[in-house]
Amino acid sequence: MDTDLLRAFVTVAECEGFSAAGKILHRTQSAVSLQIKRLEDQMGESLFERTSRSVVLTTPGGRLLPYARHILKLQDEAHRVMGVERQGELIRLGTSEEQASTYLPELLPRFAALHPEVRLEVMCGISGSLVHDFQEGLLDAALVVRHGPTQTGQLLGREPMVWVVAEGASLADWETLPLALNPEGCIFRAHAFAALGTSEWRWDVRYSSQSPTGINLPVQAGLAATVKTPRSVPDGCRIVGDDEGLPPLGHVEIELHRTPGHASDAFTAFCDELEAIVTGNAALESFDYVAGDG
């Protein structure tokens, strides 16, 4: 059985679409459709029901999926045992700098002890850009703040957003609230604008940077306020109290994207360990908690 066809099948099933699968597989939509047609001819069954809006597994497709995943896993293991990947497997992770600094110090030593042969490439950036890179097949996994519904994102929980200023800063000193924020496309920026739009505050974006350092420096110097999650409050700064007059910001959702069809033990272990560390963070509210929160 052609494992390339099986990998295309698993990817389409997990992406729930041919176009999204094609981006991950670096193939055109028509090429992926042709692969699925060839597999269906071999199986003698229709594997997907195609409508104008969705692609879903048929009953035969649902029966095939666990076997396809198992075959791909065995192939990856055989390559590793036979030394096909002599340089070691490469895992490309995308995440924000602040999430990397929070979670990777715990993850990297633990994972390296179990899989010393695996190479890791970490790309840091804004969540929206990282999701785009993941969908284009440039990343194997992405830990991001959800900007909108996707076909591959697994929701892990949610975190509160908070206003942050320097420890010695007083909001009463500012007639116009100076802000330090990420550029357009950042959900923290969007939430800040939406919240301030319902308040009587005058405000102005004085500092803008894609890097947390570029945001943190003016805030630490007492020159601006910003929006963070509690785990990302920089040294010398504090969370603005509810009684200080700034509007509430709500929450952001954290999600993990994994490349469909990537079935090696090392990749699975890496993603599972990352998920466990993130969901074990005391600041992250599980969706079980949220559902009961009303």
Torsion angles phi and psi, residue 157, rounded to 5 = 160, -170
pTM of the model: 0.69
| Residues 42, 9 contacting (CB under 8 angstroms) | no
Question: Quick count: other Cβ atoms within 10 Å of Cβ 175?
Answer: 7
| Residues 41, 78 contacting (CB under 8 angstroms) | no
- The pLDDT of residue 290 is 42
- The pLDDT of residue 83 is 58
Helix H, strand E, coil C: the string for 77-88 is HHHHHCCCCCCC
- Phi/psi region, residue 16 (left: phi>0; alpha: psi -120 to 50; beta: rest), is left
- Each domain of the chain, given as residue ranges in start order, spans 3-68, 90-157+253-280, 162-249
Length of the chain: 294
| Residues 8, 26 contacting (CB under 8 angstroms) | no
- The pLDDT of residue 270 is 94
How far is 154 from 262, CA to CA, in rounded Å? 16
Element (H, E) at 176: strand 176-181
User: Which residues 6+ apart lie within 8 Å of 25 measured at CB?
Assistant: 7, 8, 11, 32, 137, 261
Same fold for the pair 3-68 and 162-249: no
Residue spans of alpha helices (H) in 174-238 = 187-197, 212-220
Q: 90-157+253-280 maps to which CATH number?
A: 3.40.190.10
* Locus of tokens 């697994």: 154
Ordered per-residue pLDDT tens for the chain, 294 residues? 788 888 888 888 888 888 888 878 778 888 888 888 888 888 888 999 887 677 889 998 889 988 888 888 888 777 666 654 445 788 999 999 999 999 999 999 999 998 888 999 999 988 888 988 888 788 899 999 998 777 778 899 999 999 999 999 999 999 999 999 998 888 899 999 999 999 999 999 999 998 899 999 999 999 999 999 998 999 999 999 999 999 999 999 999 999 876 667 889 899 999 999 999 877 677 655 443 333
3-68 is classed CATH 3.55.40.20: no
Per DSSP, what are the bridge partners of residue 239?
Answer: 164
Pull the structure tokens for residue 125: 């950036």
162-249 is classed CATH 3.40.50.1000: no
- The pLDDT of residue 185 is 82
What DSSP designation does 286 have?
Answer: P
Pull the structure tokens for residue 76: 């990856």
| Residues 253, 267 contacting (CB under 8 angstroms) | no
- The pLDDT of residue 80 is 65
- The pLDDT of residue 73 is 81
C-alpha to C-alpha distances, 49 to 55, 60, 256, nearest whole angstrom: 6, 11, 27
Pull the structure tokens for residue 80: 């590793």
How far is 268 from 252, CA to CA, in rounded Å? 26
